[in-house]
Amino acid sequence: MKKLISAALAASLALSLTACGGNAAPAATEAAKDAAPAATEAAKETAAPAASEDPIRVCVVYTGSLGDKSYNDSCNEGAQKAVADFGIELKSLEGTTAEEWESNLLAACEDGYDLIIGASSNIADYITEHGPNYPDTKFAVIDTTVDLPNVQSISFAQNEGSFLAGAAAAMFTQKTDIPGVNEDAIIGWVGGMDIPVLHDFFTGYEQGAKYINPDIQILQAFAGEWSNPLKGKELTFAQYDQGADIVMNVASGTGTGILEGAKEKGLYAIGVDLNQDADQPGAVLTSMVKRVDTACYLTIQSVVEDTFAGGTTQYLALKEGGVSLTDFAVMKEHLGDKFPQDIVDKCEELAQKIAAGEIVVENYEGFGPAK
Amino acid sequence: MGAIFENLDKIINVSLIYATFRSATPIIFAALCAAITQQANILNVGTEGIMLVGAFTAVAVSYFTGSWVAGVAAAMLAGVLIAMIIGIGHIKYGADNCAIGMGVNMLALALTKFCLNVIFGMNGSFSSPDIQPIPRIKLEFLKDVPIIGEIFCNWSIMEWVVIVLIFALQYLFYKTVWGLRLRAVGQFPVAAKTAGINVNKIKYQAVAFAGMIGGLAGAHLSLGYSTQFVENMTSNRGFMGVAAMYFGGANPVLTTVGCLLFGFADSVGARLQAYGIPSQFVLMMPYIVTIAVLAISMAIKISTTKKRQSSLN
């Protein structure tokens, strides 16, 4: 019996190995094929202007994983565009726990990159702590401000974009002729980790919703993690059970579960960071797009073109196109005649008012344009 | 605080019952996986890793074959393979359970990350409309019955399976010859050997069986509870399962009670957050419950042992 089991084990192991190999081989060669022309092109491009200099080496330290179809993927899109345009050398370090973030950052510092981008505000403390020890390394941090001479910061007016999302949700929850929308004026909001940036989102969301309906009730919850979709799903179900019919997610990888939960229940959600409208077609009303890709690209560009200015903060607001809502196209197609066009019109009107300064959206403490 | 009492009907209501069971189901599977080997006196620290490999295999096979049945079957097989690392390491080579279990957990995390990248070219997560999920059972005839309809009418197949499994294991452990041998092997291997039981054979069988259940737990996470694979998607559910197994002393029904406690803490927490309870406190609840549950079960164990000893004297 023992011999039988071990024979069976060995056989299945061998099988699974060959299966893996079978899949791996073409994938690897394909990747190599893709990489080869890209690399030579890149080499040509950099070779022309910079005359045989080594490419600029950039490292992006993520506080989460790629594949979240949200914040991190958006940042990576910007970085990949910079690779295509400038021929830089790019390294991405992912990590899900605070210990990993710090050790990844330190590894990048020790590795002598020209530019190290901290992809989110989670990493700001570590840059504040270790940045001064590497005065010759250029750092950038997205989504928050670090006041050091070798750190360039880019942050967003997520409160302004969320104001529009809140207003859209507050109008949507009144459209009881749309399937699934109930009588109650209750909307939901589920965040990833309980950090200040997310409160800046929520501040805008709440103000926008109350601008439409002062009596509206807004449910708030945090998952405490960036990559736990099942937790996100449970929190969303809990808010649906409590009368919400639309829930905004600001939760990176946790958010995929929120959108899936909306689809499963036949209810609605709002996407974030990237355009998530088509991720669960018919369940995502709109997405609050935050141009993390632009921020990442601009930072790399500033190093390539030698305009990097440490100690400065850029603030990308609605006016500058740093945040916006999507065009509702996927939902329009899904609902057909029932689609409430007035929401889109009203949101456009509100966006113009915010850009013109007629509506001032409040910030959470410590956010907003530099004074 | 006032808001909580005003909204009590929205926190404690009928939907909480299914929510509790829904979030407890993955932990129940994990706890049953740990209970089987525990009966043979093998602490299954690797439950988390077995589940994670099962979850990945289920998604991958369901995606390529378009059949959830194949996905679930493959997940169970993968679970057995991974569990056999523990089995062979511990039974044949006498490796320490905790060390080899943690090793398996780390291996599973790295292996699934690697395969996700090699097979699908993805980082972090994989989802696709081509993944066939495990269907849900819609009980139309119950739909209009108040309360019962709301609780039972839309369960995933796996949620029914887990209930059957709890009682099947209860029967297997305490009413069958194999169960008696299993417990004998776990409690007093020398006596079992004297009675002519092949101790190692029973242990290998227990590990393989646990691997199947662990694989099933993973398949439920990635094909039933959701339709995607995300890195480390088990999020300590395996460890919570082991804790619940301790609470129930590896008795399937009592173990399930422990799991339901976790599910309840989680679901009430999700509802409480909306009313101004700090999220940090709410997110702490499952872990506080874990510690409380273990403390209570240990206290009960100590007092019963004392009682037994005093009745002997």
A24 touches chain B (CB under 8 A): yes
Least confident of A118-122, A191-195, B2-6, B125-129: B2-6
Which among A219, A261, A264 is positioned nearest to A244, based on CA atoms? A219
- What amino acid occupies position A208? G
The residue behind tokens 């240990």 is B298
Least confident of A58-62, A330-334, B194-198, B277-281: B277-281
The DSSP 8-state label assigned to residue A137 in this structure reads S
Chain A interface, best mutation among B85, B279, B281, by max A CB count within 10 A: B279
B266 touches chain A (CB under 8 A): yes
The answer to whether the Cβ–Cβ distance between A220 and B273 falls below 8 Å is yes
Residue B206's pLDDT band, with cuts at 50, 70 and 90, is very high
Radius of gyration of chain B measured on its C-alpha atoms: 20
The answer to whether the Cβ–Cβ distance between A253 and B270 falls below 8 Å is no
- What pTM value is reported for the model? 0.84
Spatial contact of A62 and A91, defined as CB atoms under 8 Å apart: no
Residue A85's pLDDT band, with cuts at 50, 70 and 90, is very high
Reported as a single tens digit per residue, the pLDDT across B65-91 is 999 999 999 999 999 999 999 999 999
Chain B interface, best mutation among A242, A254, A258, A267, by max B CB count within 10 A: A242
- What ipTM was estimated for this complex? 0.88
Averaged over A102-120, what is the pLDDT?
93
Measured from the Cβ of residue B178, the count of other Cβ atoms closer than 10 Å reads 13
| Of B88, B126, B274, Cβ closest to residue A242 | B274
Chain B interface, best mutation among A205, A235, A250, by max B CB count within 10 A: A235
A80 touches chain B (CB under 8 A): no
Q: Is the pLDDT of residue A29 over 50?
A: no
CA separation for the pair A89, A109 (Å, rounded): 15
CA separation for the pair A83, A90 (Å, rounded): 7
Domains and CATH numbers, chain A: 7-157+291-320 (3.40.50.2300), 158-289+326-356 (3.40.50.2300)
For residue A235, give how far its alpha carbon lies from the nearest alpha carbon of chain B (Å). 5
Reported as a single tens digit per residue, the pLDDT across A248-296 is 999 988 999 999 999 999 999 999 999 999 999 999 999 999 999 999 9
